[in-house]
């Protein structure tokens, strides 16, 4: 039957083929979970739901009505919400002095305000406790050139997750964070198109390779399991890259220029 038989899981941010959200949804479904996949693109969500035997819901994380409707739809389909995973993200990479108010508004709505709205809806829907998992980033704690807004919103949301763990642990709700490094996914497709750039990241990673979406899915499975006696913590699922450093912008640019 699988470890998660009878459990209901929401994965928000699963609408792009090959992304972390899709890998997470497949992993939970393979262990018997009833999976609700959500995001902003109907066709890939519908295909994923059919593949995993689950259901899908169109949802924009920046919409309070949208995330509340997502949780309501999950309760209507499965009768309960046991696990809620936020795998959404928006990468705005610009020099600090070039960030506009529009940039800041967009990334804050997706990576700070939206997750809070989602967590509120999840907690109200988790009648018998549950597990909340935030997909964050290694850059919430490590410096990476030209990513100030991305890093700041990820770090702020991580701190909110710790607040949830503190406030709602008594209700049986655990809240944790997964922090990937550079991961082979659609968001990082440009980097993975240049082997010299990947070499830079591999060189700074003790385990010698960049991450995969399956690495992230496996971490989420453990955090959501009954064996996990942990809350308010961050799993650094990045091959030990936090022990060293991330490549500087000049190194990445030089690698890109030298690529054949």
Known catalytic residues?
150
CA dist 257 and 255 (Å) reads: 5
Q: How many residues does the chain have?
A: 260
Residue 174 belongs to what H/E stretch? strand 173-180
Q: Which helix (H) or strand (E) holds 211?
A: strand 211-212
Q: Is 33 left (phi over 0), alpha (psi -120 to 50) or beta?
A: beta
Cα distances (Å, whole numbers) of residue 16 to 42, 124, 151, 192, 252: 10, 28, 22, 17, 26
CA distances from 169 to 61, 130, 135, 175 (A): 24, 10, 20, 8
Tell me the backbone φ, ψ of residue 220, rounded to 5 degrees: -65, -40
Backbone angles phi, psi at 170, to 5 degrees: -65, -15
Q: Which of 28, 26, 136 is closest to 87 using CA atoms?
A: 136
């Amino acid at each position: 039957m699988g470890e998660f038989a009878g459990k209901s899981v929401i994965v928000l941010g699963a609408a792009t083929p090959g992304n972390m959200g899709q890998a997470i949804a497949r992993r939970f479904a393979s262990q018997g979970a009833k999976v609700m996949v959500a995001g902003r693109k109907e066709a890939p969500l519908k295909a994923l739901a059919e593949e995993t035997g689950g259901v899908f819901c169109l949802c924009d994380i920046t919409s309070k009505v949208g995330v509340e409707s997502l949780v309501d739809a999950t309760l209507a389909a499965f009768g309960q919400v046991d696990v809620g995973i936020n795998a959404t993200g928006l990468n705005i990479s610009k020099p600090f002095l070039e960030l506009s108010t529009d940039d800041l508004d967009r990334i804050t709505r997706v990576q700070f305000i939206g997750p809070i709205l989602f967590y509120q809806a999840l907690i109200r829907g988790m009648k018998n406790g549950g597990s909340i998992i935030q997909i964050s980033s290694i850059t919430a704690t490590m410096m990476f050139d030209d990513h100030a807004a991305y890093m700041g919103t990820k770090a702020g949301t991580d701190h909110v997750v710790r607040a949830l763990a503190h406030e709602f642990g008594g209700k049986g709700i655990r809240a944790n964070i997964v922090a990937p490094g550079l991961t082979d996914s659609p968001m990082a497709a440009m980097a993975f198109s240049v082997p010299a750039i990947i070499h830079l990241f591999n060189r700074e990673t003790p385990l010698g390779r960049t991450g995969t979406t399956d690495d992230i899915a496996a971490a989420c499975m453990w955090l959501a399991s009954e064996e996990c006696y942990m809350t308010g913590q961050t799993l650094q699922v990045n091959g030990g890259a936090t022990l060293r450093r991330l490549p500087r912008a000049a190194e990445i640019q030089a690698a890109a220029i030298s690529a054949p």
